[in-house]
Structure 1
Amino acid sequence: MRDRAQALMIDLDGVLRRWDPAPMIAVEIEYGLKPASLLETAMSWDIYRPAMAGEITDAEWMRLVADRLPLEAADAATAVAAWQSYRGEVDPEALAFVREVRDGGRKVAIATNATDRLRPDLEALGLLGEVDLVLSSWEMKIHKPAPEYFQQACLQLGVLPKHVLFVDDDDRVIRGARSAGLAGYRWAGPEHVPYLRKVLDLPD
């Protein structure tokens, strides 16, 4: 039997923040780009990894994305800026769970792969005051799913890995958390919140 979790680490994108694909699709249609080409270009490992690991800034990352688009330089920069102007929205059910965990006396940290744009995004979304700590890969200089990320994160949170529940929407990241000794759980929506309450020993 595992020890009861005393703290929650929760992912941002795909859990606390959700994305409407419509704004991205609109930009791609306007500039004659293939569907999903903006996201696929941004996620190219050779530019995505240094952006998440704190080796380049968000602005530098986006310039690299623009350089790879099949557009004139000015149009590419404008297309990327238009794509980036939409910053997602808070998932109200995930936020309600975070609030419940904190009300129950447990620490909550956002644990996310991100760039130096993270904190302005969190402030704009109203999330900075909703958590006790922000664990950014850009600031830590190491990204999920590396076990070292979770080891550093637990040290910053001040809670032993065996007492931390980690929630993410990516199975590969969950495996990384578990290899570091955390209890990892894949977020598929709020239907499993009752189970997560039990892991955190919160009242029903």
Structure 2
Amino acid sequence: MRRQPAKALLIDLDGVLRRWDPAVPAAVEQKYGLSSGALMSTAFTWDLLRPAVAGELTDAEWMSLVADRLPLSAQDARAAVAEWQTHRGTVDPEVLAFVREARAAGRPVGIATNATDRLRDDLAALGLADEVDLVVSSWELRIHKPAPEYFARAAAAVGLEPQWILFVDDDDRTIRGARAAKLLAYRWSGPDGLPYLRGALGLP
């Protein structure tokens, strides 16, 4: 029996709709004599990342803690982090076109992301604030993916039962959590998946 098309789309921001240029942190690391990958590995240490996306730390507080852990003088560490953070990524034009197609076809689209309190400013700076119908932010909910409550709150924000929502993310653990919460979840690995996603939403 053929599945009925999904009625709404929830899409991750980082790694799906927003792309990051690895050359940016690499250049900062080289400039300040840091080892390759030091900025990302420090920032994404779980004891720093979790409170930052769970609404327990502001983005500024998170970055301050990252600077404290870098093997640099306090002044250089703060400068390196600030320079790194001036880059806020770029929008994937193919994914944005897909989002616009979905909305034009009457499918509500939301960004569902683990984020800090900087999210809304980033969306405005990237020109995405008016490109979606809703934003489901872990920082605002005080609960992060892949917690079951996150997906329940996301579905409630959309106003549909989970099985009618197509959820797109680039993280395996998050995809497993979304499927456990009964959402139709697709593991993003690049634009090659767009034909499948269009079909899942019943787009022409």
TM interval, shorter chain, is: over 0.9
Alignment of 1:66 with 2:67, yes or no, is yes
Q: Secondary structure at the match of 2:68?
A: helix
Deviations 1:79-114 (A, max 9, x none): 100010100000000001000000110000000000
SS of 2:152's partner is helix
Instruction: For 1:197 and 1:22, locate their aligned partners in 2 and report how far apart those are by CA, in whole Å.
Output: 32
Q: CA deviation at 1:167?
A: 0.4
Tell whether the 8 Å contact from 1:3 to 1:162 is kept in structure 2 after alignment.
no
Q: Which runs of 5+ in 1 are unaligned?
A: none
Which position in structure 1 is the counterpart of 2:54? 53
Q: TM-score normalised to the size of structure 2?
A: 0.98
Which amino acid in the other structure matches residue 185 of structure 1?
Answer: Y
Listed as ranges, the gaps of 5+ residues in structure 2 are none
User: How many angstroms apart in 2 are the aligned matches of 1:195 and 1:82?
Assistant: 39
Shift of 1:142: 0.4
- Choose 190-199 or 164-173, whichever is displaced more: 190-199
Structure 1 counterpart of 2:17: 16
Q: Which runs of 4+ in 1 moved over 4 A?
A: none
Pair 1:41-2:45 in alignment = no
Whole-angstrom distance in 1 between the partners of 2:167 and 2:105: 17
Worse overlay, 98-107 or 184-193: 184-193
Residue of structure 2 equivalent to 1:84: 85
Aligned to 1:175: 176
- Provide the residue aligned with 1:132 in structure 2: 133
Asked if 2 retains the 8 angstrom alpha-carbon contact of 1:62 and 1:80, the reply is yes
Shift of 1:3: 3.9
In the TM superposition, residue 195 of structure 1 has moved relative to its aligned partner by 1.3
CA contact (8 A) 1:161 1:182 kept: yes
Amino acid at match of 1:189: G
Q: Is the 8 A contact 1:168 1:187 kept in 2?
A: yes
User: In structure 1, what residue type is equivalent to 2:181?
Assistant: A
* Equivalences for residues 112-127 of structure 1 within 5 A: 112-127=113-128
Partner Cα distance (1:135, 1:79) in 2:
30
RMSD value over aligned CA atoms? 0.8
Superposition deviation, residue 189 in structure 1: 1.4
CA distance in 2, matches of 1:3, 1:176: 22
In 2, Cα distance between equivalents of 1:68 and 1:3: 50
Determine helix, strand or coil for the equivalent of 2:109: strand
Could you tell me the percent identity over the aligned residues? 67
2:98 counterpart residue number: 97
TM-score of the aligned structures, taking structure 1 as reference length:
0.98
Instruction: Give CA deviations for 1:47-79 in whole Å, capped at 9, x if unaligned.
Output: 100000000100000000000000111110011
